[in-house]
Each structure stands twice: as structure tokens, then as C-alpha cells.
Amino acid sequence: MAINRGKNNSWIFDSGATDTMTFESLDIRSMTQPQKSQIHTANNGTMQVKGGGVIEISPTMKLSNCLYVPSLSHKLLSISHITKELNCTVLMHPTFCLLQDIRTGVIIGRGTERQGLYYVDEVAHQGTVMLAHGTDNRDAWLWHRRLGHPSHGYSHLLFPELFPSNGRIDCETCLRAKSHRHPFKPSNTKVASPFSLIHSDVWGPAPVIGGRVFGTSYYSWMIALA
């Protein structure tokens, strides 16, 4: 648990936190008497708990028995707490993590690793995915992937604030998947008149016509033209 002078409004997945905690009193709905008066930090210090109650990470997801701790520097989303409340598992990967419903297997949340911490990107409940404190750039990437990598012009019509008309998204997946053919290699061959150089596929032998096999290929035909 980090203690800094600055405050960070992003929620962070914390496997070491026993409770979901926030330093922002407005996050608590219906403030009640907390179940504990203080919490212990990783450096053997203590912090006073000033209240508790229900926290809404998104309009559709509520976590009960959360703590209001004003001296915190980050909002901590307890993994043990969320797995019990939502009956889900947390899959940790090198650059991101996923929340997966145990019963249905549906992905109900996601986080992204930044400087050793897993920040909450989105959370969901009962199949409805909601954003949680994402930046415009991160939200744009999220919707670009969610909608199946549409063009920037189409995305601008749907979300003009996330996709400005003069902006762009450098998506490698789009470049690879939407390329219909490999680029042509540069050629220095030049001709002075039409039909002095002809390109054609080589094929043969030709089909049987009148009991005779025509074995002449387009290649030999081009030689005759030359």
C-alpha cells in the first residue's frame, strides 16, 4: 500500500488489501459506522477509518462494507472483496488482468498494468460493461476494439468527442487485417512503347481439342511476339 502526497482518482486492483477503500467521501453511498476503526499498512503503520458503506464502482456494480480512509493516496479495489461480492475470478497477465464470472465464464471486468500496478479499465455486472475513470485515449482504444476495429470516420460519427475528425488511431491490427494484398516491390523496368513488355501467367498444357493436345504456353506465345 503506497502512501504519497498526491491523490490518484483511479481505482487499483489490490491483492494485499482485505477491504475495498477510498479516500473520497463522495464514493460512499449511505455512510454508516465502519466495521473497523483503523487499518494496518505494509510498513507497519496504521490509518484511521472515518466511515464505511456501499461504493458504486459503476452505476451497475455496488460493493458493500467498503471503507472511507481519508489518508489514502489511492483507491484500492480489494481482489478478495470483489471476487466474493461478484462471484468471479481474477486472471493476472503481464500487461493486463481480467475479471471472469465463475458460473458463466463471461469477462466482467478488465485492468491494465502500469508501472507495476493494475488499474481498473472497466467493470461490469450482469453482462453490462461500464467504464471506470478511463482517459479519453484509453476509452477510444476500448471502443475501437469493442466495435470490431471500424474506420476512424465511422467512429467519429458514433463518438465525436473520443474520435475527433482530425485525429487517428495507429492500430497495427487494422493495418494487417485490412490489407488486401502485399505491397509491390519497386521496379526500375521501363519501356518505350505499348506492348513491348507483356506480363502473363505461364500455364499448360492446353485442354484437348479435336484429339490434339496443344502444349503451347503463354510464355512461348510471348517469345513469338518478341
C-alpha cell at 129: 460493461
Tell me which residue range forms the domain holding 151: 135-177
**Neighbour count for residue 70 (Cβ, 10 Å):** 13
For every one of its 226 residues, what pLDDT tens digit does the chain have, with 9 covering 90 and above?
444 445 777 888 998 888 888 888 888 887 888 878 888 887 778 888 888 888 877 655 678 888 898 888 888 989 999 888 888 889 888 888 888 888 887 777 788 888 888 988 755 444 444 444 455 677 787 788 878 888 888 888 888 888 888 877 778 778 777 776 666 777 777 888 888 887 776 766 666 665 444 444 444 444 444 4
Please tell me whether residues 99 and 120 are part of one structural domain: yes
Please tell me whether residues 80 and 159 are part of one structural domain: no
C-alpha cell at 61: 456494480
Please tell me whether residues 117 and 20 are part of one structural domain: yes
Number of H helices, E strands in the chain: 5, 15
Please tell me whether residues 75 and 103 are part of one structural domain: yes
Q: What is the pTM of this model?
A: 0.51
How many domains, the chain?
3
